[in-house]
Amino acid sequence: MTRLLHVSASPRAAASESLAIARTFVDTFAATHPDAEIDEFDLWDGTLPEFGPAAAAAKMAVFAGQTPSGDGAAGWAAARTTFERLDAADRYLFSVPMWNAGIPYILKQFIDVVSQPGMVFGFDPEAGYDGLLRGKKAVLVYTSAVYGPGRGPSFGSDFQAPYLRDWLAWAGVDDVEEIAFRPNLVTADAESGRSAAHALARDLGKTF
């Protein structure tokens, strides 16, 4: 069965542009893929585990071929549970507002929790990393209120899209589509860009 995981990084609920575009995508996807299972993962719902000292020690133990123990074992189990939710899907939707030229810290936390050896990646001392999320595909929804292509450096930089594209490629996901809505807050009319983003979301939702 096709399974779509929507990872939402915005805390703004109904006020969120990225969530609104994602909702258009999900509604269209559900209508055109009636047998698909859709998992909505709100990263702000309090279920995302931390990846602190004990979990980090467990990760290094795994790298050394050891079995995590004590508090590290619990942290490692929590990371695996989160990863299994990611791995259970074959299609991903990420809705991501720009925060300070990059991604919200809660999404970075999610990435750091699931990006573990034997889960998202394998590693060989001679060959390097090997992404393990092969055969999956993703749609990325980006929004930003000040930064936009063609604006000068005083309007900011984009470490949002390159970071997510690079992480997905590193993890083995190379079939990626993008939807961007980047209005300028000093511009009165953002409706044309908003309409275009929602139209693309509907088109991709039909064929994804």
Going by pLDDT thresholds of 50, 70 and 90, the confidence category of residue 150 is confident
The pLDDT of residue 1 is 86
Going by pLDDT thresholds of 50, 70 and 90, the confidence category of residue 187 is low
On the question of pLDDT at 168 being above 80, the answer is yes
DSSP state, residue 14: G
Q: Position 129: which residue type? A: Y
On the question of pLDDT at 186 being above 80, the answer is no
> Residues 6 or more apart from 81 whose CB is under 8 A from it?
49
Q: In this structure, what token pair is assigned to residue 76?
A: 């490692």
Over residues 170-192, the mean pLDDT reads: 88
Mean pLDDT score of the chain, rounded to an integer? 95
Instruction: Average the pLDDT over each of 19-33, 50-64, 115-129, 174-188 and give the range with the smallest value.
Output: 174-188
Q: Residue 69 is part of which domain span?
A: 3-207
| Region for residue 50 given its phi and psi (left: phi exceeds 0; alpha: psi -120 to 50; beta: otherwise) | beta
Positive or negative torsion for Cα 80, 82, 85, 88:
negative
Radius of gyration (C-alpha) of the chain in whole angstroms: 18
| Dihedrals phi, psi of 8, to nearest 5 degrees | -100, 125
Please, what is the Cα angle at 161 between 167 and 109, to 5 degrees? 50
Q: In this structure, what token pair is assigned to residue 119?
A: 């889960």
Stated pTM of the model: 0.95
The pLDDT of residue 135 is 96
Over residues 7-30, the mean pLDDT reads: 97
Residue pair 71/87 in contact by the 8 Å Cβ criterion: no
- Rounded distance, CA 20 to CA 102, Å? 20
CATH number for the domain that contains residue 62: 3.40.50.360
The pLDDT of residue 184 is 79
The pLDDT of residue 112 is 97
Question: Could you read off the pLDDT of 80-137 as tens digits, one per residue?
Answer: 999 999 999 999 999 999 999 999 999 999 999 999 999 999 999 999 999 999 999 9
Helix (H, G, I), strand (E, B) or coil at 11: coil
Number of structural domains (the chain) is: 1
Over residues 18-29, the mean pLDDT reads: 98
